Amino acid sequence: MSVRRAYFDHNATAPLRPQARWAMAAAMERVGNPSSVHSEGRQARGVVETAREQVASLVNAPKEAVIFTSGATEATHLALSPNIRSGGEARHASKLYVLETEHPCVLAGGRFEPEHVLAVPVKSDGFIDLAALEALLDVHDDASGAPFVAVQLANSETGVVQPVAEVARMVRFRGGYVLCDAVQAAGRLPIDVAKLGVDFLILSSHKIGGPMGAGALINAHSILETEPLLRGGGQETNRRAGTENVPAIAGFGEAAVQAASEAADFASITALRDSLEAGLLPICEKLGLADRLTIFGQSATRLGNTSLIALRGMKAETALIAFDLDGVAVSSGSACSSGKVGNSHVLQAMGVSPDVAQAAIRVSLGWNSTRDDVLQFLSVFERLAVGLARRLGGELRDSAA
């Protein structure tokens, strides 16, 4: 008999939405290169431009600001370049300041040399240390070039939401650039790129229920130009060469439409997450494990779909396998580390002790999550907690003997 599956890994990739699948199937029926001038080519171009409008609408940006890429990693590397032109004139960025809890593709620094990438610390709740960022910007050498700051809107592991608009004001006052990774926030928070005040914003299709292999860089200011990563044809108005992936872009666009409607009212998914967290403490209290339970980032504003929890003594690598065997898909953090299970750089930056960090598992809900999924998770968690309590009790008896 097959085991019922409960999927709690939306922050790694969301299941493909039916609307996105239909849009992709329709696009695959079309023949034509979107750069061709004949009727078939114009129809393909129409599919791309419709999706461009849909993705732009998700973050309240003009459609001309959307540059389609193969995903968020490519979009990040396209944006993170020291070679920037403003109004047609070169305006070099000399240093990149990156939040310690950023996604690995941002921490890699894009096209900045490693010695020109500086870390911005976070507090114990995962919230940016604004005073530390201000101190770094105060000593920035303006004569060498502008500062470039990368700050995520929401963390993929803890769900902690950062004050991006406040950071952008600080950086803009000093004449710098700001990149915002909005991959996890899209569809879970209302996003307005103008209100955020950032120069560049990153989106990913498969995080919002679109297909893998599509992403976008939102270039918020038309006067700004980054150095292209891919050169060749004039696609994406000379900003990203290569024939557009029409089916994936079509799916991305339709997923953006659905995600935008959910972002306006995310209360139902937040309620599911809150009920899951509320069910953990009674289980741990009953077993005498309450002092071992941690829910990270609770004191900060978080995404309504994300919970990073740890039960000290229950190693994540063991828990993930047990959950999976019982039909529950969870993760130990970012999925972009070749499938490895290891201590999180996010928790390390937050100063979490290794014995707690190695027990951390991430639960992330989304558009198809249900109450039954939550109950299934809590059932498996209780079974694992019972096993931990028995093991700890045995250890205490052995030590007393």
248 and 290 assigned to the same domain: no
273 and 207 assigned to the same domain: no
334 and 254 assigned to the same domain: no
> Of all residues in the chain, what percent are helix, strand and coil, respectively (each to 5)?
40, 20, 40
240 and 388 assigned to the same domain: no
Domain membership flag for residue 110: yes
In DSSP notation, 133-194 reads: HHHHHHT--GGG-EEEEEEESB-TTT-BBP-HHHHHHHHHHTT-EEEEE-TTTBTTB---HH
pLDDT for position 396: 54
Helix (H, G, I), strand (E, B) or coil at 383: helix
Please identify, among 206, 228, 263, the residue that sits at the C-terminal boundary of a domain: 263
Please identify, among 263, 283, 304, the residue that sits at the C-terminal boundary of a domain: 263
pLDDT for position 337: 47
Domain membership flag for residue 244: yes
Contact 183, 50 (CB under 8 A): no
CATH of the domain at 310: 3.90.1150.10
Domain membership flag for residue 168: yes
137 and 276 assigned to the same domain: no
223 and 271 assigned to the same domain: no
80 and 177 assigned to the same domain: yes
Listed residue (134, 159, 128) closest to 147, CA to CA: 134
pLDDT for position 266: 86
Specify the number of domains making up the chain: 2
Domain membership flag for residue 295: yes
Domain membership flag for residue 1: no
Contact 34, 48 (CB under 8 A): yes
Helix (H, G, I), strand (E, B) or coil at 101: coil
Alpha-carbon gap, residue 19 to 211, rounded angstroms:
11
pLDDT for position 343: 73
Q: Which residues are catalytic?
A: 336
Spans of the chain below 70 pLDDT? 1, 333-342, 394-401
346 and 211 assigned to the same domain: no
Please identify, among 229, 263, 297, the residue that sits at the C-terminal boundary of a domain: 263
106 and 199 assigned to the same domain: yes
257 and 155 assigned to the same domain: yes
108 and 251 assigned to the same domain: yes
Note down the domain range covering 158: 18-263
pLDDT for position 43: 95
Domain membership flag for residue 201: yes
Supply the pTM of this predicted model: 0.93
132 and 237 assigned to the same domain: yes
Alpha-carbon gap, residue 40 to 42, rounded angstroms:
5
